[in-house]
Amino acid sequence: MEIKLQPATNYERKIFYKEEWDVNDVPDFVIDSLTSREFGFDHYGQGPNDRYKTFPDALRLKRFMKVKQPFAAYCSVAFYDKPKQRKGWKQSELVFDVDAKDVPIRTCDCNEGEVCDKCLSQAKDIVLMIKDVLEGDLGLKNINMIYSGRGYHVRVLDESVMTSSSDLRGQIVQYVIGAKEPDLSNSMGFTNLQHFIIPYGYSKNFTKWSKYTILHLTEKSKLDNVNTKLLKDTLKFRHFLEDDQWGMFRGNIGPIRFNKLISAVARINMSITDTKVSIDLKRILRLPSTLHSKVSMKSTLIKNIETFDPFDDAVPQFVYERKD
């Protein structure tokens, strides 16, 4: 059966919350901090305007969801002493938001604002790369992967980042997604990000992301300060990058044009994830287990990102019962 990413009707939403949604599907990392979080709801498909909600326990949350059957449900990444007033901030998750419709170099034929299995697969590839850097370079362990409905949220709850400032989070994001060209004049050989002493693999990490972006460019791609001739030559010689022959690629492009290309790629990499979400200490995110009503998909905690397929693992039952 072909899964169509179309809006859920009011009836389908009611059926989902009445017969399928289970409070036990809300991840433990949310339930364990339930009383410290702010919740928000969208009841009419116009955005989360029902804010500052709190729940003393999972039973109260269950009752609310069963009665209200919201268009969308959200919870804060922040923990507060007084979540109902959003006062007494204690700490916040570090979040990477990868939305398939906003991937800067998409290889599918989707119209703006649309998603398909191809760009969702591309978003998953990006999330896997982010996860590798978080674990391998930064040594983070409490990493939760969420399918959001049209993309993925990476939610990190290690203590070393939970209390970090917006400025530090911005630096971490730049490092993780290869969005800043490495300063090769740094003779110290490492970057110091407060809690993290990162071995000077910055250049290697930046190169990995640049390779990913360049290999996904098409003739229709638009890059700042990159003219048609440079783009064509990039596509012509990028096969060298498949074997990591950067010297050959740079030699055919030319050093001046190569530097211009790499600067443009760094700006593209910056838009791989929504940086505003990562640095916002008071952001609310879609509540895992709930319905993304615009596409009729479940926001789902992913147990195994390698094998996860949203078209198998995040489809509500009512979608299979639709009559064309």
Contact present, 172 and 159 (Cβ < 8 Å): no
Per the listing, tokens 């938001």 go with 97
End-to-end CA distance of the chain: 11
Tell me which of 274, 312, 313, 324 is the catalytic residue: 274
- Confidence band of 2 (pLDDT split at 50, 70, 90): confident
Tell me phi and psi for residue 219, to 5 degrees: -65, -20
pLDDT, position 188: 36
Cα 280 from Cα 94, distance rounded (Å): 9
Q: Which region among 45-54, 220-229, 289-298, 312-321 has the lowest average model confidence (pLDDT)?
A: 220-229
Helix, strand, coil abundance in the chain, percent, nearest 5: 40, 20, 40
Tell me which of 22, 42, 57, 97 is the catalytic residue: 97
User: What are the Cα distances from residue 175, in Å, to 54, 147, 235, 248, 275?
Assistant: 35, 23, 26, 26, 12
Per the listing, tokens 């990591």 go with 244
Tell me which of 22, 50, 99, 102 is the catalytic residue: 99
Residue 243 annotated as catalytic:
no
Reply yes or no on whether the pLDDT at 85 is more than 90.
Answer: yes
Per the listing, tokens 């800043």 go with 180
Query: Which whole number is the average pLDDT over 176-201?
Result: 55
Reply yes or no on whether the pLDDT at 166 is more than 90.
Answer: yes
Residue 97 annotated as catalytic:
yes
Show the tokens assigned to 233.
Answer: 């030559």
Reply yes or no on whether the pLDDT at 194 is more than 60.
Answer: no
pTM above 0.75, yes or no: yes
For the beta carbon of residue 232, count every other beta carbon within 10 angstroms.
Answer: 11
Task: Please indicate whether residue 184 or residue 126 has the higher confidence score (pLDDT).
Answer: 126
- 174 contact partners, CB below 8 Å, separation of at least 6: 180, 270
Reply yes or no on whether the pLDDT at 196 is more than 60.
Answer: no
Contact present, 87 and 80 (Cβ < 8 Å): yes
pLDDT, position 324: 64
- Confidence band of 110 (pLDDT split at 50, 70, 90): confident
Query: Which whole number is the average pLDDT over 89-99?
Result: 98
List helix spans (H) across the chain.
10-15, 28-31, 58-68, 117-136, 159-162, 166-176, 202-215, 228-237, 246-253, 255-270, 275-279, 310-313, 317-320
Query: Which whole number is the average pLDDT over 198-209?
Result: 67
Residue 274 annotated as catalytic:
yes
Cα 31 from Cα 23, distance rounded (Å): 9
C-alpha closest to that of 268 among 188, 211, 197, 186: 211
- Confidence band of 197 (pLDDT split at 50, 70, 90): very low
Do β-strands 291-292 and 297-298 pair in parallel, antiparallel, or remain unpaired?
antiparallel
Domains plus CATH for the chain?
1-177+274-309 (3.90.920.10), 181-271 (no CATH)
Show the tokens assigned to 39.
Answer: 């919740």
Cα 203 from Cα 182, distance rounded (Å): 5
pLDDT digits (tens, 9 = 90+) for 57-76: 999 999 999 999 999 999 99
Contact present, 43 and 260 (Cβ < 8 Å): no
Q: What is the dihedral of CA 46, 48, 53, 59, to 10 degrees?
A: 80
